[in-house]
Amino acid sequence: MSGYGSYCEDFYLNMNLGTEMEVPQSRETVLHFFEQVQRRFPSMEHFYGREKQEFVLEEEKGQGPYRWVSIEPRRVSSGFVNPQNLDDALAQHELVLELVPYELSISPLDCESLGVVLGFDFTCRGNHSEVLAEALGISPALEKLLAVPNSRMISLEPAIQLALDEDCKTQCRVSFESRTTAYHVRTGDFPEEQLSVYLMLRRFESLSPGETYVGEFQRLAALCREIADEYLVESVLMPLQQAISLR
C-alpha cells in the first residue's frame, strides 16, 4: 500500500471540480461520459442516480480498494478508497479531468474550484473529542476550560486554513470530523465510529490561458503529498494512532 494505510483503517484520495455553470445533465451526455470512464476502468460496473440529479459510477464496495466517479449539477468528483498505489488514484482523477472539457463541455473558464482531498479514517470507540485532545493538545488559552466543574467535552474539531500563494488562489485546509454526539457523552455508550482527518488543497477561480485541469491537478496533488508526508504524518496521524491504541 502507499504507506498511509499503516496509520489508519481507511484512506482515500479524491478530486473535486466545482463549476460556475451547471454541468450538462442530458441522458446521452451523462451516459457517454461514464462509458468513457468505464472503458478505462472496466471493473466500475455499478451505475445509479441519487436525488438532486447526482449520478454515480463505482466499483463493488468491499473490504479492499474501490473507485467511484460522480456528476452533480455543479460538481464532478472522483475518488479512490484504499489504493494500493497513489499513482493509480492520480491516473484515475487525471483521466476524468482529461474527459470533462470534451464530454461535459466544462471549459477552463468554468472552474469555480479544483480540489484534492486526502482523507484518513480511524476506527475509534470512545469520546472522539477527548482522543483529539490527547493526541493534538488544546490551545493554552482554552485548556483551563477543561477544569470547569462537572464539565465533559462534547465537541473538539480543530481546523486550520492556509494560503499558499500571494493572491490566496491556492489554499490548504486541515480539519477533523468527530462522530461523538451529546447522546454518546450523556449515556456513556460510545460505539465504534470513524474519526476522520482531512487534508484539502484547492485552487480557486478560472484557469489562466495555457493552464489545464490535468496540469493544475498534478500541481495540487504534489503539494498535497508533500504536506502530508512532511507535516501531517508525524504530527497528526501517528499521535492519533497511538492515542486510539491506548484506549
On whether the pTM is more than 0.95, the answer is no
Domain with residue 134: its CATH number is 3.30.160.110
Convert the pLDDT of each residue in 32-71 to its tens digit. Answer: 999 999 999 999 999 999 877 899 999 998 768 999 999 9
Is 1's pLDDT higher than 50?
A: no
**Which residues constitute the domain of residue 144?**
4-245
pLDDT attached to residue 50: 87
pLDDT attached to residue 58: 97
Separation of alpha carbons 204 and 200, rounded Å: 13
Question: CA-CA-CA-CA torsion for 160, 113, 19, 107, nearest 10 degrees?
Answer: -170
* pLDDT grade for 146, boundaries at 50, 70 and 90: confident
pLDDT attached to residue 47: 97
Is 6's pLDDT higher than 70?
A: yes
Q: What is the mean pLDDT of residues 211-222?
A: 98
Residue 136 three-state SS = helix
The candidate with the shortest Cα–Cα distance to 174, out of 113, 226, 232, is 232
Separation of alpha carbons 30 and 17, rounded Å: 16
For residues 236 and 246, which has the higher predicted lDDT (pLDDT)? 236
Q: Considering its fold, how many domains does the chain have in total?
A: 1
Instruction: Give the contacts of 202 (CB within 8 A, at least 6 positions apart).
Output: 113, 114, 115, 116, 170, 171, 173, 220
Q: What is the mean pLDDT of residues 5-17?
A: 95
Q: What is the mean pLDDT of residues 135-150?
A: 90
pLDDT attached to residue 2: 59
Average pLDDT, the chain: 94
Q: What is the mean pLDDT of residues 146-163?
A: 92
Separation of alpha carbons 201 and 193, rounded Å: 26
Q: Are 86 and 94 in contact (CB under 8 A)?
A: no
Instruction: Give the contacts of 64 (CB within 8 A, at least 6 positions apart).
Output: 82
Separation of alpha carbons 34 and 38, rounded Å: 6
